[in-house]
Structure 1
Amino acid sequence: MNDRSPQQIDRARPRCHCRYMRRLPLCLLFLTILSGCAQPETSFPTSPGGGPVPVIMISLDGFRNDYLYQGDTPTLDHLADTGAVADMHPSFPSVTFPNHYTLVTGLRPDMHGIVGNRMLDPAIPDEVFDVSRGTGLQDPRWWDGAEPVWVTAETHGLHAASMFWPGTDTPIKGVLPDDWAHYDKTLSADDRITRVLGWFQRPVAERPVLTTIYLEDVDHAGHSDGPNSEARHTAAATVDHAVGMLLDGLRQNHIIANIIIVSDHGMAQISPHRAIPLSRLAPVGEMEIVTSGAYAGINPTPGHERSLADALAKPHDHVQCWPKEHIPERLHYGRNARVPAFICLADVGWVLTGPRDTHPVHGGAHGYDPAAPEMTAIFIGNGPAFARGTKLAPINNTDIQPLVLHLLGLVGQTGDGTFRDLRAALTPAYADLQ
């Protein structure tokens, strides 16, 4: 656990929050606090201690939209009923690290550069980015193609903190959150919340204004036992309890916060009877398999560029393959140098397997077309910013970053999303601010 990053230790100078606030009322409000100037008639909503109302964003990895209201999640159901809720489409590929970075940058994977859970980059030939093996994850070269919300907050005077959100243990553009931790899968959901609540027991000026939390229990259970399994139901109850702990702890400390609950993707049931060996599509010797599963990323081995292209272009049952430059536009994928030369996408419920894959095909998988119902994620917003009982039309996960920046009164990197579709979720005090 790291209470302060090296960059934060070096920041001994006083912070002026209004240097980066885009809204004149908010900047004037902070000048009022600091210098006693007259407060404007219209001001940005603030916390009792001054400054923006804290934003706490919680990711429930692999939490499909229809997991709500199944009897396992009374806390989440209550937050949805008394706040704003929407189905949310992930970005392609619908896997963990690309979508977590999209949620905090507003950019699709093809733009922010985290294009898969496993990646190769001709500009970084000495390294493989591989989530399952833990290689390359702390190398800023993979992450510096975008500015996540915690970097925006930190570089403009607001305290940020994170409990395991992908990317927060890497100095992106030279910046870490004030509080961060290397991922530790042995730390339970409840223990993570206990640590987060400890941050909010500090003096008001030292508390985080932006907090991100990552809970993966539902995803793990969905993979191992399937989306409709008892294990998945138990995992949903586990994360629901953790969210309830957070809310109780905030209440006990008299802290009002805007809570955003999201997931990165859904989950689909798979079966060993729906496995497609990639060797059926082309000779193994012609392929360098970068990633496999619901989709496969493939590079040709030297000298086999044409023959591999011809083999993958043939019709194949339950799978479509494209050269990266011909991936359908609706997937917004294929221009980044890190995207493999060919992408093959399986039908939902089918899995593409490589010769080195050792895990049995059972349980659940994700990575499919983001438009598939099984891949649909969740969005819940609750707190003083969110209008009670608001059911929104489906949104894209690129819309979350502009929402967070709006709630904090910040302008950051322009992304692929829009705040327009989420404005209807906000109370007038927040929605009317430009």
Structure 2
Amino acid sequence: MFKNLISLILAGFLLAGAPALAATTPELDDPVSEKTEQRDPVTILISIDGFRPDYLERGITPNLSALAASGIYGPMRPSFPSKTFPNHWTLVTGKTPDHHGIVGNTMEDAARPGEVFKMATQDPFWWNQAEPIWITAEKQGIRSATMFWPGSEVDFNGVRPADWWPFNQKLSNDRRINAIVDWMRRPADIRPRLVTLYFDTVDTAGHYYGPAPGEKLHAAISAVDSEIGRLKQQLDNLDQPVNFVIASDHGMTETAPDRIIYLDQIMARDQYRVVEDGNYLAVEPLEGNRDAVRAAFLQPHEHMQCWDRQNIPPELGYGTNPRVPSIFCLVETGWVVLQDVPEWMTGTGGGHGYDHRDPDMMAFFLSSGPAIRAGGQLPAFDNVDIYSLVAKLTGVNPVAGDGSLAPFEPVLKP
């Protein structure tokens, strides 16, 4: 399942076009030492996909721990569903998936019969229910640059980030850092004031090896921590002040081959269409078969509960958007529901997509920089609030959304 998702990402993003100025990535083998001006702060929003809050407590993240000690950090509730694309779009729009329209990693829309949104889809139709912060920034004359972020390649009526890179999982983390440092070495008039950066390797390791302490997972965590430390050092050498906002999209929980719900045991597969399976289930009945499909799925099931779209519990904040599937099933944390079990699912691994209030699904947050007081650990808050913080730090007049600046106001410097 996870390998298939990665394949979809690679296939689409590698085919996406990139502007000419995104084609060069300098290799910065030597420390940067260029101190030529008094620089305004830049805001860098970093996603560490799949980074659980407790990863900071394992003694393997000296750079992140130092940033946390100088600023604020803590657990953060993701939006439902606790999947990658819905929550990345929430972080940069300030709206829940039910309101911004990216309701799953895979989804359908009745306005586009026969089409399926997948993680490589760049058609603006699927993204334009909400405006991401880099588009708002560009409209307000604030230059932005995106070193990977879901949706950052989408054209919003001719507006894109001034600099953007199409996602390429083969581009190493160190080269991603080099590109950002190169942007910061530019003259002030073409230097971005808002930057996004995305790391996928911790999530990948979590899926394959699970979130428990282990050599391979910890190697991935340590490598990202080291790159963030290198980024900070390079920018310090430039005398470039930075307000870091570092967040994950969701947590991770352990999965295993003995915790699988087999769809063929519920109903024959030729009776309905699976939009998405795995850590939750999205189902559309075939024409003329709605009553039979509802009867099969809406009855009680061990380790899984299903609802019609309009009956999804309100505490999930999910179900008003017409892209939410007709029948939605929430799986017990740690279980998976599958029509076909992937060959690689032979041992302990990791997954997400479950109830966003589950402790294992909690995301991570950290912010540090000249605009942030050393405030220690914050109480848990909702990830829709990150948008307001990034807008405040960048000087963007934000679009109205579902979040608030309130969790951060006590620690913001005048």
TM-score surpassing 0.5?
A: yes
8 Å CA contact 2:39, 2:240 repeated in 1: no
Q: What value does the CA root-mean-square deviation take over the aligned residues? A: 1.6
Which of 210, 213, 216 pairs up with 2:200?
Answer: 216
Counterpart residue type for residue 95 of structure 1 = K
8 Å CA contact 2:39, 2:241 repeated in 1: no
Counterpart residue type for residue 59 of structure 1 = S
In the alignment, what sits opposite 1:2? 19
Pairing 1:136-285 to 2, within 5 Å after superposition? 137-228=121-212, 229-285=214-270
In the alignment, what sits opposite 2:72? 84
Pairing 1:40-51 to 2, within 5 Å after superposition? 48-49=38-39
Q: In the superposition, relative to structure 1, how do residues 221 and 356 fare at CA in structure 2: closer, same or farther (>3 Å)? A: closer
Distance 2:376 2:151 in 1: 31
State the SS of the aligned residue for 2:146: strand
Q: Which stretch has the larger CA shift, 63-72 or 268-277?
A: 63-72
State the SS of the aligned residue for 1:380: strand
Which of 352, 365, 386 pairs up with 2:372?
Answer: 386
Distance 2:302 2:198 in 1: 37
Counterpart residue type for residue 311 of structure 1 = A
State the SS of the aligned residue for 1:368: coil
Q: Which stretch has the larger CA shift, 332-341 or 118-127?
A: 118-127
Q: Deviations over 1:76-117 (max 9, x none)?
A: 111111110121011111110110000000001111111111
| Structure 2 unaligned regions, length at least 5 | 1-17, 23-36
Answer yes or no: is 1:365 the counterpart of 2:317: no
Distance 1:393 1:317 in 2: 34
Distance 1:49 1:192 in 2: 22
State the SS of the aligned residue for 1:424: helix
Counterpart residue type for residue 142 of structure 1 = W
Distance 2:219 2:70 in 1: 24
Distance 1:281 1:333 in 2: 24
| TM superposition score normalised by structure 1 | 0.85
Q: Deviations over 1:10-50 (max 9, x none)?
A: xxxxxxxxxxxxxxxxxxxxxxxxxxxxxxxxxxxxx9445
Counterpart residue type for residue 107 of structure 1 = K
Counterpart residue type for residue 242 of structure 1 = E
| TM superposition score normalised by structure 2 | 0.89
Pairing 1:342-357 to 2, within 5 Å after superposition? 342-355=327-340
In the alignment, what sits opposite 1:339? 324
Answer yes or no: is 1:122 the counterpart of 2:110: yes
Counterpart residue type for residue 348 of structure 1 = T
Q: In the superposition, relative to structure 1, how do residues 348 and 397 fare at CA in structure 2: closer, same or farther (>3 Å)? A: same
State the SS of the aligned residue for 1:227: coil
Distance 1:272 1:281 in 2: 18
Distance 2:42 2:112 in 1: 37
- The offset of 1:168, in angstroms, is 0.8
Q: Deviations over 1:116-155 (max 9, x none)?
A: 1111112123532112xx3xx2211111110110001001
- The offset of 1:387, in angstroms, is 1.0
Q: In the superposition, relative to structure 1, how do residues 88 and 214 fare at CA in structure 2: closer, same or farther (>3 Å)? A: same
Larger radius of gyration: 1
Distance 1:103 1:396 in 2: 10
State the SS of the aligned residue for 2:329: strand
Counterpart residue type for residue 63 of structure 2 = T
- The offset of 1:357, in angstroms, is 5.1
8 Å CA contact 1:160, 1:178 repeated in 2: yes
Distance 2:164 2:388 in 1: 23
Pairing 1:306-325 to 2, within 5 Å after superposition? 306-325=291-310
| Structure 1 unaligned regions, length at least 5 | 6-46, 430-434
Distance 2:341 2:19 in 1: 37
Instruction: Give the number of aligned pairs.
Output: 381
Counterpart residue type for residue 403 of structure 1 = L
Distance 1:124 1:397 in 2: 30
State the SS of the aligned residue for 2:74: strand
- The offset of 1:180, in angstroms, is 0.4
8 Å CA contact 1:93, 1:367 repeated in 2: yes
State the SS of the aligned residue for 2:137: helix
Counterpart residue type for residue 398 of structure 2 = G
Pairing 1:29-48 to 2, within 5 Å after superposition? 48=38
8 Å CA contact 1:3, 1:178 repeated in 2: no
